[in-house]
């Protein structure tokens, strides 16, 4: 192993910079040449590949976003695109590729590594925490902390006006941001794609709460929930309970930005270090995860979106603690 490249791909996540820093510095420590690729796979196709030094990653561990930029790249889904990518990587004699991104990015890396002789390592970077083979993904902790800061503020104003708020958090196919931020803010209800919620049951509870003069209620909805998101939930509540003073807040992309938390910086640093270590050890085409606080390798083809069963106990906790 002599020359490795690192890229960030898909939706950005806080902590990606800390991971890039760890890859670059670990690589240099082992006397490898480390190249950065701009804009994910698109940058390989456009040959936006440049050598990085230790100081290229100075002062970035605390920064959100990604200095390498990111993009979703359609061309890489096609064989022709991947072939061109291989040719460009070979121009720089790259013999190892580290991809920081979500399951879509790993899918590309897996195909690429099967077709061409460049070993790939994936690092799970997504705020959604929806990838199998790791307890946490880079960016999740920061995103939930951003969400709870915002939801706490919403509760202040909800409380002042005796209002019901329906708050939508991110999570295209996964409800972990909703589950964690909902529990941490004492939300009365949490709606997420992994568990079907009957909105009518929630409405009945809201009516019962109203009878006992509990008017302040927070409903945290994952954007991927089957009901159709916060606007639809609020519309149906207003239809049945027009007397409730109902408002909607969609948190949106604020959850993707900001300085990573300590947990995300450490997760990203450990994973970045482990990615280079794996390549040096000849461990190829795996995603680095951390399971029970230990580095864990998952073959790239198994590092897919994990729509896990959510333990029903979580919802018991929500119900008991918010009653
Ligand atoms: O996967 C991360 C995520 O933030 C999802 O939670 C969200 O659905 C999606 O990306 C939004 O993507 P975009 O920024 O491309 O609109």
**Over the stretch 102-158, which tens digit does the pLDDT of each residue have?**
999 999 999 999 999 999 999 999 999 999 999 999 999 999 999 999 999 999 999
| pLDDT attached to residue 65 | 98
| pLDDT attached to residue 306 | 66
Pocket of ligand 1 contains residue 171 by CB under 6 Å: yes
Mode of pairing for the β-strands spanning 246-250 and 189-191: unpaired
Cβ distance 248 to 166 under 8 Å? Answer: yes
**CA separation for the pair 19, 66 (Å, rounded):** 10
Cβ distance 142 to 258 under 8 Å? Answer: yes
**CA separation for the pair 63, 235 (Å, rounded):** 38
Q: What is the pLDDT of residues 80-110, one digit of tens each?
A: 999 999 999 999 999 999 999 999 999 999 9
Pocket of ligand 1 contains residue 175 by CB under 6 Å: no
Residue 125: CA atoms inside 13 Å, Cβ hemisphere, count? 35
DSSP H or E segment with residue 90: helix 79-91
Number of neighbours of residue 314 by Cβ within 10 angstroms: 17
Nearest to 189 by CA among 317, 312, 319: 319
Give the pTM.
0.97
Index of the ligand 1 atom closest to the CA of residue 224: 8
Task: Give the ipTM of the model, two decimals please.
Answer: 0.98
| pLDDT attached to residue 304 | 78
Index of the ligand 1 atom closest to the CA of residue 171: 6
Pocket of ligand 1 contains residue 101 by CB under 6 Å: no
Q: Residue 309 — very low, low, confident or very high, per pLDDT cuts 50/70/90?
A: confident
Pocket of ligand 1 contains residue 172 by CB under 6 Å: yes
Expressed in angstroms and rounded, the spacing between residue 251 Cα and the centre of ligand 1 is 12
Q: Taking residues 14-27, what's their average pLDDT?
A: 98
Q: What is the pLDDT of residues 48-72, one digit of tens each?
A: 999 999 999 999 999 999 999 999 8
| pLDDT attached to residue 25 | 98
Residues noted as catalytic: 128
Q: Taking residues 175-195, what's their average pLDDT?
A: 96
* Collapsed DSSP state (helix, strand, coil) of residue 283: coil
Q: What is the pLDDT of residues 220-277, one digit of tens each?
A: 999 999 999 999 999 999 999 999 999 999 999 999 999 999 999 999 999 999 999 9
């Amino acid at each position: 192993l002599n020359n490795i490249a690192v890229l960030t791909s898909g939706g950005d996540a806080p902590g990606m910079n800390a991971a890039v820093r760890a890859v670059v510095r670990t690589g240099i420590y082992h006397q490898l040449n480390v190249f950065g690729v701009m804009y994910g796979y698109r940058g390989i196709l456009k040959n936006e590949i440049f050598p990085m030094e230790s100081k290229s990653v100075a002062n970035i561990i605390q920064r959100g976003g990604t200095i390498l930029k990111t993009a979703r790249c359609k061309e890489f889904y096609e064989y022709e695109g991947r072939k061109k990518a291989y040719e460009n990587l070979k121009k720089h004699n790259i013999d190892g590729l580290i991809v920081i991104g979500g399951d879509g990015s790993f899918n590309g890396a897996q195909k690429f590594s099967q077709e061409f002789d460049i070993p790939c390592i994936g690092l799970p970077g997504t705020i959604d925490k929806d990838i199998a083979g790791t307890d946490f993904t880079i960016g999740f902790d920061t995103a939930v902390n951003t969400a709870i800061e915002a939801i706490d503020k919403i509760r202040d104003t909800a409380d002042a006006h005796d209002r019901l708020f329906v708050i939508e958090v991110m999570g295209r196919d996964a409800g972990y941001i909703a589950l964690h931020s909902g529990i941490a803010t004492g939300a009365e209800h949490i709606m997420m794609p992994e568990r079907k919620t009957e909105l009518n049951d929630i409405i009945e509870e809201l009516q019962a709460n109203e009878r006992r003069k509990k008017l302040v209620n927070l409903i945290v909805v994952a954007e991927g929930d089957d009901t159709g998101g916060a606007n639809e939930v609020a519309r149906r509540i207003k239809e049945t309970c027009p007397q409730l003073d109902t408002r909607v807040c969609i948190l949106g992309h604020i959850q993707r930005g900001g300085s990573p938390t300590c947990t995300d910086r450490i997760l990203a640093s450990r994973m970045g270090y482990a990615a280079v270590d794996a390549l040096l050890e000849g461990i190829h085409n795996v995603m680095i995860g951390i399971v029970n606080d230990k580095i864990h390798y998952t073959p790239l083809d198994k590092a897919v979106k994990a729509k896990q069963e959510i333990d029903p106990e979580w919802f018991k906790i929500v119900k008991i603690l918010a009653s």
